[in-house]
Amino acid sequence: MRRASFEGQRAEAHTIAANIDVVFLLHALVSPPNQRRLERELVLAFDSGAQPVLVLTKLDLMDDSDETARRVATLEAVAPGVPVHVVSGVRGDGLDDLRRYARGYRSVALLGASGVGKSTIVNALVGGQVQSTGVVREGDQRGRHTTTAVQLVALPSDPVGAEGWLIDTPGVRAVSLWSSGTGIERAFADVFAISDACRFRDCKHEEEPDCAVSAAVREGSLDPRRLDSMKRLVAEEAALEEEQKARLKVEDRRGFRKRKP
């Protein structure tokens, strides 16, 4: 689930997919790595209860292996403990490893900006043109929204029948938080581990004495942008909770919630 577009003051949820076991978070290697976007996607994925997997696409377009390694490492750095696969939907690299996640009738949702190659991977895994794929603009590699609805696609096994399910989704432009589970704690497990050593249990990692997180930033073992990013997400989640509470209150007053289904 994510927060739907901001319409006035109301917080509305948008369900992208349900009953999923695994979420592939796709990023194209040809674009500059976007750590902030990946962090948000990881929070959504962890909050959903599914297992996130980072999938880095379009390997065939990379001719500088050092640059490829740098981009992989940059994204990996904000996905502690998350499996990473480097693939090409066109050439086929890494696809067998992806297929394994669907084994045992599991459902795998593919999430990512439009143009990263979600539908191409679905087609390659299924072995046919089941999903239409789009063209990306040369300049910024952005795709148009070729996949306009969420699609559930059976992943066939030999000789017949499905061994699992793929859920192709339209590109998500704004990754806004919705639910308030343990997503942030899990997506920022590295920061939370450091914060165990802060003097105060409710340390905000601002000006507190004996703050282990601030110390890690000073020593250079924690990227200050990652800490900022986490604080921003915590604030976003807190604001959302306030909105949700305010809304429930209004509904209570109007008697909405007392009605029997």
Ligand X SMILES: Nc1nc2c(ncn2[C@@H]2O[C@H](COP(=O)(O)OP(=O)(O)O)[C@@H](O)[C@H]2O)c(=O)[nH]1
The binding site for ligand X (CB under 6 A) comprises 57-58, 60-61, 88-90, 112, 114-120, 133-136, 143, 146-147, 171
* Nearer to Mg ion (CB atom), residue 173 or residue 232: 173
Binder of residue 58, out of ligand X, Mg ion, Zn ion, none (CB less than 5 to 8 A by kind): ligand X
User: What residues have CB less than 8 Å from 58, skipping those under 6 apart?
Assistant: 28, 29, 30, 88, 89, 90, 116, 117
Using the Cα atoms of residue 227, residue 232, residue 236 and residue 238 in order, give the sign of their dihedral: positive
DSSP for 197-260? TSSSTT--SSS-TT-HHHHHHHHTSS-HHHHHHHHHHHHHHHHHHHHHHHHHHHHHHHTGGGS-
Q: Does 234 bind Zn ion (CB under 5 A)?
A: no
Binder of residue 40, out of ligand X, Mg ion, Zn ion, none (CB less than 5 to 8 A by kind): none
* Nearer to ligand X (CB atom), residue 9 or residue 148: 148
* Nearer to Mg ion (CB atom), residue 31 or residue 68: 31
Q: How far is the CB of 27 from ligand X (least distance, A)?
A: 11
SS3 55: strand
Stretch of residues binding Zn ion (CB under 5 A), selected from 46-54, 103-111, 125-133, 211-219 = 211-219
* Nearer to ligand X (CB atom), residue 171 or residue 183: 171
Where along the sequence are the contacts to Mg ion (CB under 5 A)?
118-119, 146-147
Closest by CA to 33, choosing from 81, 85, 68, 75, is: 75
* Nearer to ligand X (CB atom), residue 120 or residue 214: 120
What is the C-alpha to C-alpha distance for residues 140 and 125, in angstroms, rounded to an integer?
27
Binder of residue 179, out of ligand X, Mg ion, Zn ion, none (CB less than 5 to 8 A by kind): none
Binder of residue 107, out of ligand X, Mg ion, Zn ion, none (CB less than 5 to 8 A by kind): none
* Nearer to Mg ion (CB atom), residue 150 or residue 234: 150
Among the listed residues 16, 53, 166, 213, the single contact to Zn ion using CB under 5 A? 213
Q: Strand 51-57 relative to strand 22-28: parallel, antiparallel, unpaired?
A: parallel
What is the C-alpha to C-alpha distance for residues 71 and 45, in angstroms, rounded to an integer?
21
Do 28 and 114 meet the contact criterion of CB atoms below 8 Å apart?
no
What is the C-alpha to C-alpha distance for residues 211 and 215, in angstroms, rounded to an integer?
6
What is the C-alpha to C-alpha distance for residues 71 and 61, in angstroms, rounded to an integer?
13
Pattern 169-208, binding to Zn ion, x per CB under 5 A?
-----------------------------x----x-x---
Q: How far is the CB of 147 from Mg ion (least distance, A)?
A: 3
* Nearer to ligand X (CB atom), residue 131 or residue 229: 131
What is the C-alpha to C-alpha distance for residues 38 and 172, in angstroms, rounded to an integer?
12
Name the DSSP class of 110: E
Residues forming the site for Zn ion (CB under 5 A): 198, 203, 205, 211, 213
